[in-house]
Chains A and B, each alone.
Chain A
Amino acid sequence: MTTVTSTSAVRPEPRPKKKIAHSGVIGMLVFVLTEIMFFAGLISAVTITRSTALMNIWPPPGQPRLPVEETLINTAALLLSGVLLGVAHFRFKKSPELVKAPLIAAMLLGAAFVGLQGAEWVALLAQGLTPQSSAHGAFFYLIVGIHGLHALAAIGGLAYVLRRAQQGRLIASELHTAEIFWYFVVLLWPVIYGRLYF
């Protein structure tokens, strides 16, 4: 074909398509988009409720203040766990064997975060902050609880990755898919901490 019309432009022979990213990674990114919007809904709900609080007093009268300083330890543990998973990411490039140590450390720190949150809940319940006592309490247990469930699910994902690594069958896409979810859980926490505790 020598003349090229608009519709029959000659194309090069099709080649197999190059993937933009692994399917698992794309699927997880789409899922994280949904999750971000989910937490955006929760966080904007608490923001709106706070902005319409009676006399602008928050937390409402008679409700305990949230332990800002103690929770810094939790926050540090979770952020450090994210950093360690980043270390695992780069060590995987050298050898899949090397991911195990930082991965276990990241999981333990994540579990420590969830455990410390649980201890905090027990203390706050004793001080009279319950889901029924005020909107403050309700939002606190709802948002922190859902974040904690996400953290547990993400630790489960890391445990799967660890098992695959122990079997010597871990591949990059599995590690990256689990990583995306863990980074989401880790980076979400400072936002929640900033909105709920202050």
Chain B
Amino acid sequence: MSTQETHDHGHGDGHAHEPQSFLSKYIFPLDHKMIAMQYLFTGMAMALIGGFTVYVFRMQLAFPGAHVPGFGMVSPDRYNMLVTSHGTIMIFWVAMPVLIAALGNYLIPLMIGADDMVFPRINRLSYQIFLLSALVLISSFFVTGGAFGGAWTAYPPLSARGDYNATGLGSSLWLVAVALEFVAFLLGGINFITTAMNARAPGMKLTDIPMVVWMIVLASIMFMASVGPLVAGAIMLLFDQQLGTAFFDPNRGGDPVLWQHLFWFFGHPEVYVVLLPAMGIVAEVITTFARKKLFAYKTVLYTAAATGIIGFFVWAHHQFIAGIDPRMASLFTITTLIISVPVAEMLFVYIATLYGGSIRLTTPMLWALAFIAEFLLGGVTGIFLGAAGSDIYFHDTYFVVAHFHYTFFPIAFIATFAAITYWFPKMFGRMMDERLGKIHFWITIIAFNFIFIPLFLTGAAGDHRRIYNYQHFPEQWTPTLQNLRILATYALLVMIAAQVIFFVNFFKSLKSGPKAEKNPWKANTLEWVAPSPPPHGNFEEMPTVYRGPYEYGHPDRELDYWPQNEPA
């Protein structure tokens, strides 16, 4: 509480320019930018683990029973662990920390003109708990029985008892890790919401807040409102595993479908929790590189809020075949189809923003445009899964897997690459290499489509997603389908290899890229007023805001941009 006092009383108190020891600067920082870097680099490291797991199980699907280089033979239980770990890590330890925690921490104070978060110590605690959760998850790989193998949705009764899933300790560690991770984001979310409400620069009205900040705040509110029931369910499941209670055991008066409700009440809003920040990033990038005002700022804001609200009423579309009442299935079909309206509206607004702009195809802009195109495909294929009639056929096939990845890959990777390439000059004070960036972009995007278009086809042909070896299913073991599986695996290998280009570009630019000036993209928002990289305390002189964030190409001005902090 004492920290919040010192920070609340505003800008420019004594802490801003004190020299710091290595430990207090890099290991236990209070600076929001350094905490953001901790989240970013932890997320990147976890992405490598998540990428390795997918490499191993895709190799098994393409070449069943073969020796996988770097791993060995894939047994059925190992296969389950790899698939579960891939889903869990990519959603909870890559998408969430990078999109919400890293970018939220980095951007919110800079873009609203504050010197730090309002609760810096809570912020530091948030990362420490997050790191602990990652360590707990990784440690579960090394316990007896291995890591949890009951899929990232952890449906009971399989997940509820060690003698069913054969990974008794691993499944409990999985639950503890997920619960700790939620506590970390809870602390982060409290910070984001409070900071955006209370620490804005003088003059910044609600409609002057850059869209990405709005989106992260709305996503945090959604996260806070949806995570409670899942934590409740996680505690109940942990009790079932370790204390022998029977919350989800139908033999002893429990209800396994109850878990599905608690899980998806969080799980579906979670999709929008990560979607909204990605949408915000794209808004920043396309306005800067189309040199145009965001078309209909308020519409984007209202559609985002509408998405956030409707997102709480769609969860049971994951359970159409779980034995829910068909009348309820109709209701959830309707709400699910309705939610595509605000999301589609956002995409239309972005296309309208591009229309007539003087577009500059820089690397971040390419990523942002790719996001719009690829996410659109993900959204359109979701219609088939949201409608109960077609979902009964498509449920748990590779069609679902492909649809899901057409939404999550654009969110967690395409938008993140847009963000990293766009804000890299601000984060590290150097420019990234455009040529390497574009090579990386094209290989990744083309390979991505070659992974998942084949999976739409195998899914529509009936491939079930939880099968370890298709040789055991003669009707699915046809040359056509197997060739599609092999194509997807080869494309994955290409895509993983392309990430080497990204890492080379990232670390080479970090060391020896050309120095970035304060505002290399000629953008309007406040983070570009601060030095690159911003010092502890962010701004040389605390900014004051005179206008909205997207005043590009104003007819009265010679320059085609008009920073928010420049007096009229």
Contacts and interface: CB of A to CB of B under 8 A. Distances in A.
B124 interface: no
B8 A37 contact: no
Nearest to B246: A135
B218 interface: no
A134 B253 contact: yes
Contact of B245 (A23, A40, A131, A171): A131
B253 A135 contact: yes
Q: Which of A42, A146, A160, A177 has the most CB of B within 10 A?
A: A42
Interface string A26-42: 11001101111111111
B127 interface: no
A35 B221 CA distance: 13
Given A7-B554, A174-B1, A49 B255 contact: yes
Contacts of B197: 20, 26
A34 B203 contact: no
Contacts of A40: 228-229
A43 to B, nearest CB: 9
A123 to B, nearest CB: 20
Contacts of B548: 7
A52 B257 CA distance: 12
A118 interface: no
Contacts of B201: 14, 17
A30 B188 CA distance: 11
Nearest to A19: B198
A135 B245 CA distance: 7
A16 B246 contact: no
B462 to A, nearest CB: 33
B230 A41 contact: yes
B262 A23 contact: no
A14 B4 contact: no
B224 A10 contact: no
Interface in A142-170: 142, 146, 160
Contact of A8 (B194, B239, B254, B568): B568
A35 B547 CA distance: 37
Interface in A171-190: 171, 173-174, 177
A24 B194 CA distance: 8
A54 B253 contact: yes
B296 to A, nearest CB: 13
Given A131-B243, A135-B252, A20 B198 contact: yes
A142 B236 contact: yes
B471 to A, nearest CB: 41
Q: Which of A1, A16, A41, A146 has the most CB of B within 10 A?
A: A41
Interface string B201-239: 111100000000000000001001111111111011001
A27 B186 CA distance: 11
Contact of B198 (A26, A60, A160): A26
A173 B568 CA distance: 38
Nearest to B293: A7
A48 interface: yes
B551 A7 contact: yes
A101 interface: no
Contact of A37 (B225, B244, B252, B253): B225
A35 B255 CA distance: 24
Contact of B556 (A5, A48, A138, A142): A5
Contacts, number: 148
Interface in A76-120: none
B268 to A, nearest CB: 14
A128 to B, nearest CB: 15
Contacts of B186: 31, 34
A80 B227 CA distance: 32
A125 to B, nearest CB: 14
Contacts of A45: 232-233, 236, 247, 258, 262
B202 A41 contact: no
B544 A14 contact: yes
A65 interface: no
A111 to B, nearest CB: 22
Nearest to B249: A135
A132 interface: yes
Interface in B42-83: none
Contacts of A42: 232
B190 interface: yes
B6 to A, nearest CB: 11
Contacts of B202: 14-17
A139 B191 CA distance: 33
Contacts of B118: 23, 27
A39 to B, nearest CB: 7
B554 A24 contact: no
A38 B4 contact: no
B546 interface: yes
A15 B293 CA distance: 26
B203 A14 contact: yes
A34 B253 CA distance: 29
B292 interface: no
A41 B225 contact: no
A8 B562 CA distance: 10
A53 interface: yes
A195 interface: no
Contact of A49 (B1, B200, B254): B254
A1 B547 CA distance: 15
B265 interface: yes
B228 A38 contact: yes
Nearest to B182: A34
B528 interface: no
A75 B229 CA distance: 25
Q: Which of B122, B189, B224, B228 has the most CB of A within 10 A?
A: B228
Q: Which of A1, A22, A171 has the most CB of B within 10 A?
A: A22
A135 B236 CA distance: 11
Interface of B: 1, 4-5, 8, 10, 118-119, 122, 186, 189-191, 193-194, 197-198, 200-204, 221, 224-233, 235-236, 239, 243-247, 252-255, 258, 261-262, 265, 293, 544-548, 551, 554-556, 568
26 contacts: A1-B568, A7-B548, A11-B203, A14-B201, A15-B202, A17-B198, A20-B197, A23-B194, A23-B198, A30-B194, A34-B225, A37-B224, A38-B232, A41-B230, A41-B231, A45-B233, A48-B255, A48-B261, A49-B253, A132-B246, A135-B252, A138-B246, A142-B245, A160-B1, A174-B1, A177-B1
Given A30-B193, A34-B224, 9 more contacts: A7-B547, A14-B203, A14-B544, A17-B198, A27-B118, A34-B228, A40-B229, A135-B254, A177-B1
List 7 tightest A-B contacts by C-beta distance, closest first: A14-B203, A41-B229, A37-B228, A38-B228, A41-B232, A138-B245, A14-B202
